[in-house]
Amino acid sequence: MADPGDLLELLPDDRPISWVRGDDGLVGWGEVARWTGSGPDRFADADEWWRTFVAGVAVRDEVGAPGTGPVAFASFTFSDDSAGSVLVVPRVVVGRRGGRAWITEFSHGDGPSVVHAVSPVRPSGTLRYSDGLLPVARYRTAVAEAVRRMRAGELDKAALAHDLLAAGDERLDPRYLLGGLAERYPTCWSFAVEGLVGATPELLVRRTGDVVESRVLAGTMWARDDADHGVPDRLMGSVKDRHEHALAVESLSSALEPMCASLDVPAVPEVLALHNVSHLASDVRGHLDPITPASLLALAEAVHPTAAVGGTPRKVAVDLITELEAMDRGRYAGPVGWVDAEGDGELGIALRCAQLDGRVARLFAGCGIVADSDPDVEVREAAAKLIPVRDALEGD
């Protein structure tokens, strides 16, 4: 097909669906099927449902690349106990990869096509901010308590988050936030699934045939001012951040290793510099067991939550998060992305995001807490991580 141009400009304002990075990605609209679920078996249940669905679909795929044919967009809750994990199969998907574009459309018989002109994107207008379920003061208290328990030897790390509410005068247009984030952060994966809109720098897992890849981010710094160019060196030299990062890499690699014939884990991280913060990053790559290659959703079940968004040891950290945050994260920090009929696809971690519900957006930000963490520094880091979503929502 002819190049469709900016993929995000194709989206309607009614439940847009997106996974875009730079010029490549997938966008969808309409719906032919969905799965919803919860509980510790939600990944396996979703995988079984998806396999059953695609087995019953007659496919004519003239492209034959990952992301062509039937595609489901996925968004899973962080916690086993939260409701809201979902797979959505759009009626129409437009995709582009490496300069090649395609359209996948489910036959609609004699019914009307869902392809139609889209309305102009609506700015958010004036926004009013208020505390979410975990205000900043209580977040600082939670961080301080987590540090105390780590110094007492109860655990090594926990990733604690808090939320912030933004309300507009009219229903918020998810395309405005999505487009703003994609423009500001073209190297991140910009996503929209069931009202959860964001741009994540962290790839939880990608499956392409027998190859599995992941990008681990843990350890964060931001510039003191516009003239501060020493962040990369300070970040690489930070014992606290290097330790936090090592825990996250170990968490991911130990979960992937049993499912792989080989796994390449970098010995030293790199620095990923974004618009307002920098992260320590490690790109992990492996080859799946050729006898029983795991599907994308099975891989996600094995690795979620990594130490980057959960902690170490995993169960102790997740229990601590539940206790100290005392809020339902929903799908924040859960896997988000897409899966195709072959079990290939990409899932990021839902960070730098907001859940939109009518006139209200619920924003999230979190930090990895270790024994050396300073609660006041972590509060400032969380505020820095909220800036991308606030700026994109406000249009500044």
- Active-site amino acid positions: 157, 202
Find the farthest-apart pair of alpha carbons in the chain and give their distance in angstroms, rounded.
67
Give how far Cα 205 sits from Cα of 26, 164, 348, Å.
17, 28, 7
Q: What is the CA radius of gyration of the chain?
A: 20
Residue type, 235: L
Give the DSSP H or E segment for 53.
Answer: helix 42-55
d(CA 131, CA 126) in angstroms, rounded, equals 17
Q: Are 98 and 87 in contact (CB under 8 A)?
A: no
Q: What phi-psi label fits residue 36: left (phi over 0), alpha (psi between -120 and 50 degrees) or beta? A: beta
The CA distance from 21 to 200, in Å, is 10
Cβ atoms of 60 and 43 closer than 8 Å: no
Hey, what amino acid is at 315? K
Report the distance separating Cα 357 and Cα 66, nearest Å.
Answer: 32
Rounded Cα distance between 329 and 39, Å, is: 14
∠ CA(355), CA(326), CA(310), 5° rounding? Answer: 75
CB of 96 closer than 8 Å to CB of 19:
no
Instruction: Provide the token pair at 258.
Output: 């049993």
Question: Token pair 């989206």 is at which residue?
Answer: 11
